[in-house]
Amino acid sequence: MTNITADTANSENTVKSTAPAKGLIPLPEKTARALATAGGALTVVSAFLAWTWNDDFPGDLTYYGSPAGLQWLVLIGGALTALFGLASYGVKGLGWLTPAGADAAIKLSALAAFATTWYTVVSIVLELGLLVDLEPGAGVAALVSLLAVIGAFGLPFERPALEGPDPDDTDFEKFKHEAGNRWTTFKSAFASGPIKPARALPAWAEILLIAAVLGLALTVFTYGITTPYQELFVGFLITAGFGAAALNKAGLFARVTALTTRHRNVALVGAFAAAAAFPLTQTDDQYANLGVNILIFATVALGLNIVVGLTGLLDLGYVAFLGVGAYTAALVSGSPNSPFGVHFPFWAALLLGAAASMVFGVLIGAPTLRLRGDYLAIVTLGFGEIFRISMNNLDGTSGPDITNGPNGIAGIPNVNLFGFDFGATHTIAGFTIGRFANYFLLMLLITLIVILVFRRSAESRIGRAWVAIREDETAAEAMGINGFRVKLIAFALGATLAGLAGAVQAHVSYTVTPDQYTFANAVPPNSAFLLAAVVLGGMGTISGPLVGGSLLFLIPNKLQFLGEYQLLVFGFALIVLMRLRPEGIIPNRRNQLELHEDMEAPTVLGKAGV
């Protein structure tokens, strides 16, 4: 049986008592649990059947006994449902799967299998044109996944008994009240219980578990980034989204977080070792190219997290600092379009790009950081547009010939660092590493530097001052904190980190143009997507913006087949996610407590989120 979550208890409707436990679908508990568990197991079996006789559908789902493409995702969803169902029966050896209870996890994993199955079946019919293109296996899969969902939503849960509407309310207010009651009841169906204490393990065993989790994360990331066709990527999003929510409700994410907190340095080193292994798994440089651009975007999002997440300053023109670093490095790296005719070594261009971004951060921040809230946001938005327009006008016609105007600075040479040519293919320990794999490893090193800077800054005295400014600037200044100086340091440091990433981006893309640095367009990086990455990932944490940035770069890149509807679908998905999880994917503990006031506060809050 599950408990009512804090956000349920904190709804605008007051909980008076708890109604009798029953499911959203009226079924006896034993019947519902058996139906969900058996449905999950049968869904696994259905993945081994042929779903279509026509091999024109991507993935070739025409074979018996050999799952392919989307069938593997359905198999994973069904397996999770069956395992969580068996754990709810108390099967020996599966208790570790559900430290926070199994019922909410069963519902979400059943939804993962059901949604992926039906998406696949509908896609087959729409793409091939006829229902007769389906094999009986597709019908079996659709039926058993539906049975699993029916069983899952028949599981009982504690329903909050809410106060009725005021008799004097208007019809519209009564409608809102009733809708709120239904939403609160629905959310309580997915509530998880308290996490059971973990059994004490030796330190080496905990480190091995962290390594296994990182290996699994690398596998999932690699699978997502290398999906060869659009149907598979959409199915991956469905399964990964519901599957991750199921694992979270089961309490497994909380267990992993506790492990990584106890072994922070080991987890950090292991995460970067897993990331460094990614290009070694790729034979196509296309995916390594996508990987290095994801790293650039995620690293810039982490730099913005200092300004937005730690200090609470709304910066809508942050992508301009990325552009300053990129243009500075491009101008001094030997490009034939550069009017200066100099070719600095990469390390000098990198430092110069970071320094130029820092100078611009100070120049922009000094006169504007006395503003607050919306006024500061408008000023930073203006700076972003001024930068883009200025780069367009420095073309020798509207202004001095420095940036070659809209054509940008092209022909930026590859990095050559200590005799290692990043533009050439190398064979190391039997692995062939191409150009983008070289830059991926270089950018990974830059990301590590940015993470170390963020972590040390957040845990320092200045980091505590940033948090104080974010929570209440007036109170912080009353306690002796120089608000202007502290905010200027945050602005300058965030700009510096963006400049580092910009210098690498210039060499990766060969060309720097003004249109790369806008407030909003369909393709990141841009200021709107960077801000969304910080909020979506989790403000004030280290891993939050990295995860959010990775998702917000990868998903638009893979959804280009939607054309003009891409931003519509993407925006709707963000609204839903922010409604369901406003604290972000990887929340900062302080922010989570603010949004869920009934959560029990720990005795000591952690320093910087991980």
- Per residue, the 3-state secondary structure of 27-42, as one string, reads CCHHHHHHHHHHHHHH
Q: Where are the alpha helices (DSSP H) in 160-202?
A: 171-188
Q: What is the mean pLDDT of residues 370-379?
A: 83
Percent above pLDDT 70 for the chain: 90
Q: What is the mean pLDDT of residues 443-456?
A: 90
3-state helix, strand, coil in the chain (%, to 5): 65, 5, 30
Q: What is the mean pLDDT of residues 153-170?
A: 76
Torsion sign, CA atoms 467, 473, 478, 481: positive
Long-range contacts of range 433-438, CB-CB < 8 Å, 24 or more positions apart? Answer: 433/279, 433/280, 434/285, 434/288, 435/285, 436/279, 436/285, 436/288, 436/289, 436/291, 436/292, 436/508, 437/279, 437/280, 437/282, 437/285, 437/288
Domains of the chain: 24-155+197-256 (no CATH), 285-560 (1.10.3470)
Q: What is the mean pLDDT of residues 573-594?
A: 73
- Is the pLDDT at 15 greater than 50, yes or no? no
pLDDT at 7: 38
- Closest listed residue to residue 100, CA positions, set 193, 224, 26: 193
Higher pLDDT: 1 or 453? It is: 453
Least confident residue range of 278-287, 440-449, 541-550, 595-604: 595-604
Q: How many Å apart are CA 408 and CA 330, to the nearest integer?
A: 10
Q: What is the pLDDT of the chain when averaged over all its residues?
A: 83
Q: How many Å apart are CA 106 and CA 246, to the nearest integer?
A: 7
Q: Residues 131-147: pLDDT tens digits? A: 888 889 999 999 999 99
Q: Is residue 416 helix, strand or coil?
A: strand
The single-letter code of the amino acid at 380 is T
- Closest listed residue to residue 81, CA positions, set 12, 176, 168, 155: 155
Higher pLDDT: 178 or 358? It is: 358
Q: How many Å apart are CA 104 and CA 125, to the nearest integer?
A: 32
φ/ψ bin of 27: left (φ > 0), alpha (ψ from -120 to 50), beta (otherwise):
beta
- Is the pLDDT at 244 greater than 60, yes or no? yes
Q: How many Å apart are CA 116 and CA 139, to the nearest integer?
A: 14
- Is the pLDDT at 85 greater than 70, yes or no? yes
- Closest listed residue to residue 123, CA positions, set 238, 236, 5, 235: 235
- Closest listed residue to residue 288, CA positions, set 448, 425, 446, 449: 425
Q: Residues 196-219: pLDDT tens digits? A: 877 777 888 888 888 898 889 888
pTM to 2 decimals? 0.83
pLDDT band at 168 (very low <50, low <70, confident <90, very high): low
